[in-house]
Amino acid sequence: MPAILSNLVNWITGGISFLLTLMVLSYLIGDNPVFRAAVYIFIGVSAGYAAAVVWHQVLYPKLFMPLASGNLGERLLITIPLVMGLLLLLKLSPRTARLGIPSMAFLVGVGAAVAIGGAIMGTLFPQTWASMQAFNLSGAGKYWLERVSEGLVMLVGTVTTLVYFHFGAKATPNGPQRGKLVSVLGRVGQVFIAITFGVLFAGVFVAAMTALIERMNFIITFLSSL
């Protein structure tokens, strides 16, 4: 690409990025049509990108190509997702929405199974194993006290957080009340939950400030190049 054309492309892309950045930052003065236009552009580009990915990576290679050039067994097998997809499209109309219930039920069931399996195998079991390994003193050496302290903090935080979400209560004249031990442990768990939310909020805030600083640096750099 010639240098002049390359510079022209850089100027055009830089100008569009500069304009979109200002449109998004206009939200600082309140909701306005300029910001909404930037949001609509973002949603439209995201939808177009998602549609392109679905076509090139799912529909064309895994649906239409087997139907066009696959053997009889592949064609018969691929008709199942094809029919379920067509039934799912029928939910766009209120008159034919009931015909799409089997496809929607299949999607919800598979999604729930994947979510539960991921939570158990990817979160619950690894976290339980990590909590148990915190008390493994082999190789800790002179740092055994630090290892035990970390394990105790993890154990107390896990147990008290789980107790906080224990909603069992006994009927009393003053209404349902939890036991004193459960209430105390629940309050400790509430402290751990508050600390966790604070850390998460700090992480989100730092990420947002990093993005803001990067965009401000881009604006300054673009203006200085004019």
Q: Provide the angle, in degrees to the nearest 10, between the axes of the packed helices 144-164 and 180-224.
A: 100
Q: How confident is the model at residue 204 (pLDDT cuts 50, 70, 90)?
A: very high
Contact, 63 vs 75, CB < 8 A?
A: no
pLDDT, mean of residues 66-79: 83
| Tens-digit pLDDT profile for residues 141-160 | 777 788 788 888 888 888 88
Q: Which whole-number Å values give the CA distances from 189 to 53, 159, 182, 195, 208, in the listed order?
A: 43, 8, 10, 10, 29
Beta bridge partners of 170: 177
pLDDT over threshold 90, residue 68? no
